[in-house]
Amino acid sequence: MPHFSHDAPFSMRRRDWLAGAAAATTLVVIPWKFAGSAEPPPGQTGFMRLSQYLTGRSTLDTGLGQRIYAALLGNNPQFPEQSQQLLRLIESRNLTTDSLAGALSSEKPELGPLPGQIMTAWYLGVVGSGVQARVLAFEHALNAQAVADQLKPPTYAYGAPGSWSLAPHRSS
């Protein structure tokens, strides 16, 4: 009869199992929203203010905001400077969202596409277009939140798996 050592690399000691169980329990018990920072990094504070102005919302998900900021930065290395310029223009002139497009076309046409890019990211959860498009949010995008009290995002199937693929039965 072969003899197996408890020190074999694949064996699990009781204390290893207990430590793993304790770690797994801790991960389940601690709410994820408290694990991250509630405040955006210092360079993104202006982006969040700009986003609040453009979306008309006083509170936005900072975690999603950080992902949007990073994705917009990945598409445009000048994004931090451009978004700060846009925010300064809005705040210095006390522009309303209705007057923003006119001010941008006459004074800062190079910043013209920026509000649309930011709004698309927040409302659709997508940054970029075509093969460069990245989906950052779906059910947490603002377009889904705006109707969440009545509608669910369309990808959730409410029947058995695959039931959506069958033709509906008609009663005669």
Burial class (CB in 10 A: 0-12, 13-18, 19+), 149: exposed
Residue 32: pLDDT over 50: no
How far apart, in whole angstroms, are the C-alpha atoms of residue 117 and residue 97? 15
How far apart, in whole angstroms, are the C-alpha atoms of residue 54 and residue 90? 10
- In angstroms, what is the C-alpha Rg of the chain? 24
Tell me: the pLDDT tens digits for 127-136? Answer: 998 888 999 9
pLDDT of residue 143: 86
Say what the pTM is.
0.64
Residue 156: pLDDT over 60: no
pLDDT of residue 27: 45
pLDDT bin (cut points 50, 70, 90) of residue 31 is very low
Token pair, residue 14, equals 């009781």
Q: Is 135 helix (H, G, I), strand (E, B) or coil?
A: strand
How far apart, in whole angstroms, are the C-alpha atoms of residue 24 and residue 10? 20
Q: Is 113 helix (H, G, I), strand (E, B) or coil?
A: helix
pLDDT bin (cut points 50, 70, 90) of residue 83 is very high
Residue 26: pLDDT over 60: no
Tell me: the pLDDT tens digits for 136-145? Answer: 988 778 887 7
Return mean pLDDT, the chain.
78
Tell me: the pLDDT tens digits for 113-122? Answer: 999 999 999 9
Of 24-33, 88-97, 101-110, which range is least confident?
Answer: 24-33
User: If you average pLDDT over residues 19-40, what whole number do you get?
Assistant: 49
How far apart, in whole angstroms, are the C-alpha atoms of residue 5 and residue 100? 74
pLDDT of residue 43: 63
pLDDT bin (cut points 50, 70, 90) of residue 158 is low
- Report whether 124 contacts 138 (CB < 8 A): no
Token pair, residue 128, equals 């970029």
Residue 37: pLDDT over 50: no
